[in-house]
Structure 1
């Protein structure tokens, strides 16, 4: 099972966004059958089977084993990944284009860049799985607290200059066999994690 999989097909994206099918994918992080899932989600086994066939058809779940039980064979399935990201390729006609309105200070341009990152890395992962080779990537993730907007602006200027200097130092147009790499650096306000709503059905002490 993959840790993260990128959904590039529009039909697969539509399937994954259905609330019930999304729930089934979450349940199938651990292998399960239609019978065990029916008990967990509270719907008939036949209906679960239908949804599992749709998920399997689009490569979102896979067969782990088949068990003979009396007159029928029980199919045990598992999600192909622990979590999924939908690529802009799934909405190809309306996917964002960073080249349309480049603006270093625009949050929407940053979002378009992030969408392109998901699309491109998703394509690389798909290609690498077919070729049986790993993808050469590198990422940094950190957090910084600025004392003021002035400090933030100064940091952005210094960061831009440092990255431009590194690109100038290592960029090579002439060497045969060289391969171009995309460099993306982003700065945005941190977002607090969304907490789960309280369970109103939990018994309370009187």
Structure 2
């Protein structure tokens, strides 16, 4: 018997400051990671080698905030064992929770790019969560490329050419009665590569 298709990972957007606060401590982040698979608080406490009472306190807070959900209850040694799991495979914090941040109408400004990126994170996370609840797949696409400019003056020229090309493709495919899509294109300097940790020389044997 063949296995069915693997469901896509679910993503939940955290846009309430209190829920963000509850989820951001190191231990609670670790608990959310552990509860990606259904488990009881006792099982997770044993895996982390922590007191059951301490883990239980944090688990109750995460459940009350809607970050953990009850899967089942089953009898165990004269009591009821509660099996929980995280409500999503990953949690994304809405950047606007930490403040709106600077804005700019200049499409060559970093603030404009960050505002657009914030909107993408927020909107896609919401729609992804809604699609997961409906059992459907959110159809999206991503284009990535790297270009090396010879001079700073080439950046606005490149941007103008790219805008013209995008406008031409949009005009070709745009249907007034179709489902609207938002296309966001941005660019920023590529970050410097992170150097690999230096390897230790082998120890000499006598």
* TM-score category of the 2 structures, normalised to the smaller one: 0.7 to 0.9
Structure 1 stretch displaced more, 62-71 or 139-148: 139-148
- Structure 2 CA distance for aligned equivalents of residues 205 and 33 of structure 1: 48
1:138 aligns with 2:146: no
Change beyond 3 A, Cα 1:136–1:42? same
Corresponding residue for residue 4 of structure 2? none
Per-residue deviation, residues 48-88 of structure 1 (Å, max 9, x unmatched): 11211221222322233334221212222222223221124
Corresponding residue for residue 186 of structure 1? 186
Change beyond 3 A, Cα 1:15–1:167? same
Q: Unpaired segments of 5 or more residues in structure 2? A: 1-6
Q: Unpaired segments of 5 or more residues in structure 1? A: 199-203
Change beyond 3 A, Cα 1:132–1:9? farther
- Structure 1 CA distance for aligned equivalents of residues 195 and 53 of structure 2: 34
Corresponding residue for residue 32 of structure 2? 25
TM normalised by structure 2 equals 0.74
Change beyond 3 A, Cα 1:21–1:196? farther
Count of aligned pairs between the two proteins = 194
TM normalised by structure 1 equals 0.74
Q: Does the residue aligned with 2:89 lie in a helix, a strand or coil?
A: strand
Change beyond 3 A, Cα 1:74–1:131? closer
Corresponding residue for residue 124 of structure 1? 127
Corresponding residue for residue 81 of structure 1? 88
Structure 1 stretch displaced more, 72-81 or 147-156: 147-156
Match of 2:105 among 99, 102, 105: 102
Corresponding residue for residue 163 of structure 2? 160
What displacement does 1:132 show?
5.0
Contact 1:33 1:75 in 2 (8 A): yes
Give the CA RMSD over aligned residues. 3.3
Per-residue deviation, residues 154-203 of structure 1 (Å, max 9, x unmatched): 4333222211222334445xx4x4343211001112335768999xxxxx
Structure 1 stretch displaced more, 35-44 or 108-117: 35-44
Per-residue deviation, residues 93-142 of structure 1 (Å, max 9, x unmatched): x3358xx5211111121111111111222232344345554433222233
Contact 1:8 1:122 in 2 (8 A): no
Q: Does the residue aligned with 2:189 lie in a helix, a strand or coil?
A: coil
What displacement does 1:12 show?
1.7
